[in-house]
Amino acid sequence: MSQAPHAMQSSRAESGESGVLYVVATPIGNLDDMSTRALDILRSVDVIAAEDTRHSGRLMAHFDIRTPMLALHDHNERSRAEQLLSRIAQGERIALISDAGTPLISDPGYRLVAQLRSADLRVVPVPGPCALIAALSGAGVATDRFRFEGFLPARSSARKNALEALAKETATLVFYESPHRITDSLADIAATLGERRLVLARELTKRFETFLEGSAEALLEIMAQDPNQARGEFVVIVEGAPAQAEQAGSVDPEQLLAAMLDAEVGIKQIAAVATRLLGGRKQQWYERAQQLKDARG
By C-alpha distance, which of 194, 193, 197 is closest to 164?
A: 193
Q: Is 201 in the site for ligand SAM (CB under 6 A)?
A: yes
CB 183 within 8 A of CB 225: no
Determine the interface stretch with ligand SAM among 13-21, 54-62, 93-101, 110-118 (rule: CB under 6 A).
93-101
Q: What is the per-residue binding string for ligand SAM in 229-248, x denoting contact by CB under 6 A?
A: ----xxx-------------
Q: Is 27 in the site for ligand SAM (CB under 6 A)?
A: no
How many residues of this chain interact with ligand SAM, rule: CB under 6 A? 23
**Within positions 111 to 130, which residues make up the interface with ligand SAM, using CB under 6 A?**
130
Q: Which of 65, 126, 204, 270 binds ligand SAM (CB under 6 A)?
A: 204
Determine the interface stretch with ligand SAM among 153-161, 198-206, 248-256, 285-293 (rule: CB under 6 A).
198-206
Q: Half-sphere exposure of 65 toward its Cβ, with a 13 Å CA cutoff?
A: 25
- Distance between first and last Cα of the chain: 84
d(CA 217, CA 20) in angstroms, rounded, equals 48
Least separation, in Å, of the C-beta of 119 and ligand SAM?
24
CA distances (Å), 111 to each of 69, 96, 125, 130, in order? 19, 12, 15, 20
Closest residue to ligand SAM using C-beta atoms: 101
Q: Are strands 47-50 and 69-71 parallel, antiparallel or unpaired?
A: parallel
CB 261 within 8 A of CB 293: yes
Q: What is the per-residue binding string for ligand SAM in 51-90, x denoting contact by CB under 6 A?
A: ----------------------------------------
Of 100 and 245, CB closest to ligand SAM: 100
d(CA 204, CA 215) in angstroms, rounded, equals 20
d(CA 55, CA 223) in angstroms, rounded, equals 29
**Within positions 94 to 113, which residues make up the interface with ligand SAM, using CB under 6 A?**
98, 100-102, 105-107
CB 119 within 8 A of CB 30: no
Q: Which of 56, 77, 96, 176 binds ligand SAM (CB under 6 A)?
A: 176
- Interface with ligand SAM by CB under 6 A: which residues? 28-29, 98, 100-102, 105-107, 130-132, 176-178, 201, 203-206, 233-235
